[in-house]
Structure 1
Amino acid sequence: MRIMLVTDQYPPMVGGVPTVTRGLAVDFAKRGHQVWVVAPSYGARDVRRLEHDVRVYRFSSFEWPTYEGLRIPFLPFMPIRNLIKRSDPDIIHIHSPVVLGNVAQILAGGLRKPVIATNHYLPINMSRSLSSDPVFGKPFSSVTYSYLVNFCNRCEYVTAPTQTALNLLYEHGLRAPARAISNGIDISKYTPGEPDPEVLRRFGLPEDRPLIIHVNRLSEEKRIDVLIRALKYMRQPAHVALVGSGPMESELRALTASLQLEDRVSFLGYVRDADLLALRRTSTLFAIPSEADLQSLATMEAMACGLPVLAANSYALPELVHHGENGFLFQPGNSEEAAGYLDTMIENDELRARMRQGSLDIIAKHDRLAILDEWEDLYRRLSIEFKEDKERKQHMRTMRKYGGRIPHERKGSRSRLRRSGSTGDLSFDWPAIDGTSDTQI
């Protein structure tokens, strides 16, 4: 198949959406599909790159002033239109309902291409301060969902990574055909393993106390302050390792210092995958106090490594963390309750062992291979149905034009109906190298 993915968030940006979109692109290419990615560039010029057999087109952009790392593209209508016409995708899959997603959706209608939209966003992701404001919070949420749902209702199909995320769209007026499809996890990569004391020494982490690991962007809506404060209420001398960076790092460091917890909290910043896997396997449990996750890849990866999980009882996290089965859920923002559950898991080896197995059992249904099969089946079905519907409409227009009968073709000509359903192949002049190339479009 010919697949086009459109996203405003793509590596080198770090986060859930960049990880998901790049993973889909590379995995589809490995399965023999032709894949194009439309994403922002990190400069003033348009760039195309061949990355792991994926044709990545990046369009000039500027940095979003209130969200570190997020790029806002200019409006490249003509370049994207030309790209869609040249690549002739069977399906266009939009992962960002903002700039590039809007451009692609508008153009897809005129070029008669089927569009799937996946929603990864909550209003709180855009602004926690506005979402939680007692005066502006409700109007801000209403306006945001009105925009999201209006965008989704103009697509042929809509997905969300969890049923919770999908229900939020239904509650705000979603009418398009839809279903939940997990982001998936590579359970052959993320597996339980033996603890590695060397990785603790490498990152300056203590070897003589329980380790609580947290992996996430250090931003306000992730509520990492709740986890730090929980240490003050704990009986156990546990140590927290924070993996990631973000705009709240300086405030979180200041909070740690004010609570005199510098010897119990480590800010590790970016950690490469191999070390992060070893850290998970060496940790006692995983904690996520976030109030803004429609599905947490970091939690899924921790579960696949066999870790029990403490999570805030917020949005879609209860779909992964089943209270008492593979971890505990606490009231969002309640550090004292979180501390009690952390102590319970750390103190009870038998409970922790049972919860480790619970995490493995729950995460099994999110196997990446099964998720890719599901996407392929959906893409094929929608592509076929869209082409058949296009042919039916063309047929009806022809029938109306000629009073209920279709004229005979002259020899050597092709009917409009057959032309409308044709899909030609296209050759690309990509650099003949392995790995990654970089040229100006």
Structure 2
Amino acid sequence: MRIMIVTDQYPPMVGGVPTVTHGLATDFANRGHQVWVVAPSYGARDVRRMEQKVRVYRFSSFEWPTYKDLRIPFLPFVPVRNLIKRSDPDIIHIHSPIVLGNIAQLLAGGLRKPVITTNHYLPINMSRSLSSDPFLGKHFSNITYSYLINFCNRCEYVTAPTMTALNLLYEHGLRAPAAAISNGIDLQKYLPGAPEPDILRQFGLPVDKPLILHVNRLSEEKRVDVLLNAVPKLKTDAHVALVSSGPAEAELRAQVEELQIGDRVSFLGFVRDADLLALRRTSSLFVIPSEADLQSLATMEAMACGLPVIAANSYALPELVHHEVNGFLFTPGNSDELAAQIDTLLSNADLRTKMGQQSLQIIAAHDRVKVLDTWEDLYRRLSIEFKEQKMLRQQLRTARKYPGYKAEEVKNVKRPHIRRTGDLGLDQTTSPGRKRRPK
């Protein structure tokens, strides 16, 4: 197939959406498909190159003033139109409904190309201060969802990585055919292994204390401050490793100084995959206090390595973390509760082992191979249906123009049926027997 992926976030940018889009592009290319990626450049010039069998087209852009690292292209309507005509994709998959996604959607209509969009966003991702404002928050959320739903309803098909994320779209007026399709996890890459004490020495981490791992962008809505507030309340002498960077890093470092926990917290910044895998295998547990995740690749990777997880009971995290099964859910923002749960796990090795095994069972439903099969099936069926509809319209026009044409035969053409939520072969609901922490 000929697949075009359109995204405003792509490596070298770090984060969930760049990881997902890059993974899809390279995985499909490795499966023999022709793949084009449309993304912003990191400067004033357009760039075109082959990257890991993927044709990547980057268009000149500037940095978003309120979101570090996010790039905004200079409205490349003509170049994108020429690229779509030249590449002639069977499907256009949009992952960002902002600039390039809007351009691709508008052009796809005129060029008769089917469009799928995947929503990765919450209003709080764009501005936590506006989203949490008691006066402006509701209006900001309504405006954001109004724009997002209008965009989604103009697409042939809509997906979200979890049922939580999809239900949010339905609640705000989604009418387009839709399904929840997990971002997936490479279970051949992320898997349990023996602890590696050398990795602790490499990063200057203590070898005689249990390690609490957190991997996520250091931004305000990820609530890393809650984890830091829990550290002085721990009864267990543990160490916290924060992996990644982000706009809130300076503020979080200042918080560490204020709490006088510099000897118990390490900022590791960017860590390459091989070292991060070793860190996961050497950690005692994974903590994610985020209040803005519609799935969580970092949590999925930790689970695939057999770690128990403590997560905020917020948005889609309870779909991965089942309370008292593979970890604990705590009230968002409650550092006292988080500290108590950390102590419970660190003081009970058998419980950690049992919950880690449950993590492996839960994450098996998100196997990357299965997810890619689902995408391929959806792409093919949507492309076929779109072509059949186009042929049907042409034949009906011919029938109206030439009365002798057998229009009734045209009307009886069988069209493929694109299935809706829950019918795509993935386990899209959480375990029926899981215990969910009450809100």
> Same fold judged by TM-score > 0.5?
yes
For 1:129 and 1:44, the matched residues in 2 are separated by 31
For 2:398 and 2:43, the matched residues in 1 are separated by 48
User: Secondary structure in 2 aligned to 1:377?
Assistant: helix
Structure 1 residue 232: deviation in Å? 1.5
Alignment map for 1:185-264 (pairs within 5 Å): 185-264=185-264
Structure 1 residue 358: deviation in Å? 0.6
Q: What amino acid does structure 2 have at the position aligned with 1:92? A: I
For 1:8 and 1:400, the matched residues in 2 are separated by 43
Contact between 1:321 and 1:329, CA under 8 Å: does it hold in 2? yes
For 1:271 and 1:81, the matched residues in 2 are separated by 38
User: Secondary structure in 2 aligned to 1:242?
Assistant: strand
Q: Check if 1:280 corresponds to 2:280.
A: yes
Structure 1 residue 350: deviation in Å? 1.3
User: Secondary structure in 2 aligned to 1:229?
Assistant: helix
Q: What amino acid does structure 2 have at the position aligned with 1:243? A: V
Which residue number corresponds to residue 42 of structure 1? 42
Which residue number corresponds to residue 123 of structure 1? 123
For 2:87 and 2:47, the matched residues in 1 are separated by 16
TM, length-normalised to structure 1? 0.91
Which residue number corresponds to residue 296 of structure 1? 296
Which residue number corresponds to residue 18 of structure 2? 18
Which residue number corresponds to residue 306 of structure 2? 306
Structure 1 residue 404: deviation in Å? 5.1
Structure 1 residue 406: deviation in Å? 7.4
Q: What amino acid does structure 2 have at the position aligned with 1:60? A: S
User: Secondary structure in 1 aligned to 2:176?
Assistant: coil
For 1:262 and 1:31, the matched residues in 2 are separated by 47
Which residue number corresponds to residue 76 of structure 1? 76
Which residue number corresponds to residue 371 of structure 2? 371
Which residue number corresponds to residue 109 of structure 1? 109
Q: What amino acid does structure 2 have at the position aligned with 1:61? A: S
Which residue number corresponds to residue 342 of structure 2? 342
For 1:404 and 1:189, the matched residues in 2 are separated by 62
Q: What amino acid does structure 1 have at the position aligned with 2:171? A: E
Percent identical among aligned pairs is 78
Structure 1 residue 149: deviation in Å? 0.6
Q: String of CA shifts for 1:206-249, please: whole Å, max 9, x gaps.
A: 11111000001100000000000001211101110000101111
Q: What amino acid does structure 2 have at the position aligned with 1:231? A: V
Bigger drift between 133-142 and 231-240 goes to 231-240
For 1:360 and 1:243, the matched residues in 2 are separated by 22
For 2:224 and 2:157, the matched residues in 1 are separated by 35
Which residue number corresponds to residue 54 of structure 1? 54
For 2:17 and 2:188, the matched residues in 1 are separated by 21
Structure 1 residue 384: deviation in Å? 0.3
For 1:49 and 1:343, the matched residues in 2 are separated by 50
For 1:341 and 1:360, the matched residues in 2 are separated by 20
Which residue number corresponds to residue 423 of structure 1? none
User: Secondary structure in 2 aligned to 1:241?
Assistant: strand
Q: String of CA shifts for 1:371-420, please: whole Å, max 9, x gaps.
A: 0000000000000000001100111111112235279xxxxxxxxxxxxx
Q: String of CA shifts for 1:163-196, please: whole Å, max 9, x gaps.
A: 0000000000000000000000000000111111
Contact between 1:63 and 1:72, CA under 8 Å: does it hold in 2? yes
Q: String of CA shifts for 1:302-327, please: whole Å, max 9, x gaps.
A: 00000000000000000000000100
User: Secondary structure in 2 aligned to 1:3?
Assistant: strand
Which residue number corresponds to residue 95 of structure 1? 95
Contact between 1:310 and 1:327, CA under 8 Å: does it hold in 2? yes
For 2:405 and 2:248, the matched residues in 1 are separated by 68
User: Secondary structure in 1 aligned to 2:193?
Assistant: coil
Q: Check if 1:66 corresponds to 2:56.
A: no
Q: Which runs of 4+ in 1 moved over 3 A?
A: none
In the comparison of the two structures, how many residue pairs are matched? Answer: 407
TM, length-normalised to structure 2? 0.92
Contact between 1:63 and 1:70, CA under 8 Å: does it hold in 2? yes
Greater relative CO, 1 or 2 (CA 8 Å, sep 6+): 1
Q: What amino acid does structure 2 have at the position aligned with 1:376? A: E
Contact between 1:398 and 1:406, CA under 8 Å: does it hold in 2? no
